[in-house]
Amino acid sequence: MAIFNTNLFQTLRMYLLLTQPLHKIKNQGIEVLCVILYLYHISDKEEDRDKWDDVFSYENRVKMRILLGKKNGKDMTDATFNNHLSTLRKMKVISKNNTVENRFNPVIEADTDVFEMVLRFNLKR
């Protein structure tokens, strides 16, 4: 068992990086998806649909680009950001109605300090 002391953003990032061989999202796409999931998880909206509407609002799209720019040391253009969103849509990570498919969004309870990810391998003999 490996235990990591981290924050929500880094937990989402590690989850996406560890599962990368399964979903094949490139590193920049992972960074964009991580910011989207982070804003979803910190949203104080009650309904899931309201959360996604909030995440993909114009104000939060600008916020996402700023967060991505701070991480990379330079601002991400609107065109580049939209290209990443298009790629994630083509990969069926983001649906047509602007929600992230459940298999890419780990269930992290709002009132917990622990996220456990269990990998199980059944060995064939």
- pLDDT of the chain, 125 residues: tens digit per residue: 778 888 999 999 999 999 999 899 999 999 999 999 999 999 888 888 889 999 999 999 999 998 888 776 777 888 999 999 999 999 999 999 999 999 899 888 777 788 888 888 899 99
Q: Which domain holds residue 65?
A: 8-100
Residue 106 in any domain: the answer is no
Number of domains in the chain: 1
Residue 17 in any domain: the answer is yes
pLDDT on residue 3: 83
Residue 119 in any domain: the answer is no
Determine whether 30 is exposed, middle or buried from the number of CB atoms within 10 Å of its CB (0-12, 13-18, 19+).
buried
> How far is it, in rounded angstroms, from Cα 116 to Cα 106?
10
Residue 63 in any domain: the answer is yes
> How far is it, in rounded angstroms, from Cα 88 to Cα 26?
10
> How far is it, in rounded angstroms, from Cα 103 to Cα 44?
22
pLDDT on residue 110: 74
Torsion region of 109: left, alpha or beta (phi above 0 gives left; psi -120 to 50 gives alpha) = beta
pLDDT on residue 101: 94
pLDDT on residue 72: 67
Residue 53 in any domain: the answer is yes
Residue 90 in any domain: the answer is yes
